[in-house]
Amino acid sequence: MNYLEVAEAKDLPGLRLVLTAHVPGPWGESAKKILEYKRIRYAPVAQYAAKANEDLVAWTGVRNAPNAMYADEPPRTGWYDILMLAERLAPERPLLPTASEDRVQVLGISAEICSEWGFGWARRLMMGTPYAGTPDPVRVAGLSRPPWTAEDIARMRAGYSASVGGPAQAPARCADILLMLTERLRRQKARGSPYLVGETITACDIYWTVFSMALEPLPPAVNPMPDWMRMSYEMIGPVIEAASDPILLTHRDFIYARHLSLPLDF
């Protein structure tokens, strides 16, 4: 993907989406796939993982990504705010149901996947800890390394480590979310629906499809993520492994095949 730098993007009209450049960040990829599904055009703008991103902070007040900047409206950085903007810009391809009872389900599932202490957050807390499993030393020796200084790593830790639970609780939290998704997909299948809620695709199908990379990344041919990132996403550890049902990845494959494009482009 070709990214604009902040200086090139900040005075452009329309929608600019700030994304972590050259890696498939789950929150950024979800925003991209929602806009793709809705056929909303945007200008991609680079954020550099773990770096200070001073020009971005000066423009938006926010260091990380994603960050949707629409016209002269305030920045939207949370998954819910970005989804609501997308719903407004392309209501003809809705990803939220209209009935409140159904919205509760879609937004509740989405929060379990994307919000603080949700699946993505808890998986990130595990990365690089014993709870993720033991890295294979032979493989590690051959891997590229993230271009991060000690200061960058400290910055990431400061941004993402505090939450309701820590690395020790994260595997059980992830496993519980996976069991919820599995049960729901089974019930929906028995009712004749291939979607998580109701009879059509909704936002939570897209969030799960993208965030499933933290359970099992798509193969390199369609997801050329850096090796070091692939390895940390693959190291799920025994608790999550025990909670991983094939229906979860079957659902991912179905949503990509029916509704979204591959390969990932980041």
Ligand X SMILES: N[C@@H](CCC(=O)N[C@@H](CS)C(=O)NCC(=O)O)C(=O)O
Query: Where does this chain touch ligand X (CB under 6 A) — which range of 71-79, 161-169, 202-210, 246-254?
Result: 71-79
Least distance from ligand X to the Cβ atom of residue 40, Å? 18
How far is residue 156 from each of residues 103, 117, 133, 216, measured CA to CA in Å? 33, 16, 21, 23
Query: Where does this chain touch ligand X (CB under 6 A) — which range of 75-83, 165-173, 242-250, 253-261?
Result: 75-83
**Taking CB under 6 A as the rule, does residue 61 contact ligand X?**
no
In the complex with ligand X, the residue whose CB is nearer, 114 or 240, is: 114
In the complex with ligand X, the residue whose CB is nearer, 115 or 188, is: 115
Least distance from ligand X to the Cβ atom of residue 159, Å? 6
In the complex with ligand X, the residue whose CB is nearer, 52 or 179, is: 52
Query: Where does this chain touch ligand X (CB under 6 A) — which range of 74-82, 105-113, 169-177, 208-216?
Result: 74-82
In the complex with ligand X, the residue whose CB is nearer, 83 or 243, is: 83
Q: Which of 14, 159, 165, 220 binds ligand X (CB under 6 A)?
A: 159
SS3 207: helix
Query: Where does this chain touch ligand X (CB under 6 A) — which range of 4-12, 72-80, 127-135, 249-257?
Result: 72-80
Query: Where does this chain touch ligand X (CB under 6 A) — which range of 73-81, 104-112, 182-190, 242-250?
Result: 73-81
**Taking CB under 6 A as the rule, does residue 223 contact ligand X?**
no
In the complex with ligand X, the residue whose CB is nearer, 123 or 184, is: 123
Tokens 């993230």 sit at which residue? 146
User: Cα(122)–Cα(75) distance, rounded to whole angstroms?
Assistant: 25
How far is residue 102 from each of residues 85, 114, 139, 208, 211, measured CA to CA in Å? 19, 18, 45, 17, 22
Residue pair 10/58 in contact (Cβ under 8 Å)? The answer is no
Tokens of 252: 């991912």
SS3 67: strand
**Taking CB under 6 A as the rule, does residue 3 contact ligand X?**
no
User: Cα(208)–Cα(181) distance, rounded to whole angstroms?
Assistant: 9
**Taking CB under 6 A as the rule, does residue 195 contact ligand X?**
no
**Taking CB under 6 A as the rule, does residue 27 contact ligand X?**
yes
Least distance from ligand X to the Cβ atom of residue 114, Å? 6
**Taking CB under 6 A as the rule, does residue 64 contact ligand X?**
yes
User: Cα(167)–Cα(117) distance, rounded to whole angstroms?
Assistant: 11
Listed in order, strand segments (DSSP E) in the chain are 15-20, 43-47, 67-70
Residue type, 35: L
Across the beta sheet with 15-20, the strand order is: 43-47, 15-20, 67-70
How far is residue 69 from each of residues 29, 37, 66, 158, 196, measured CA to CA in Å? 16, 19, 10, 25, 29
User: Cα(53)–Cα(192) distance, rounded to whole angstroms?
Assistant: 47
Distance, CA of 67 to chain centre:
13
**Taking CB under 6 A as the rule, does residue 156 contact ligand X?**
yes
In the complex with ligand X, the residue whose CB is nearer, 88 or 191, is: 88
Binding positions for ligand X, rule: CB under 6 A: 20, 25, 27, 49-50, 64-65, 77-79, 114, 156, 159
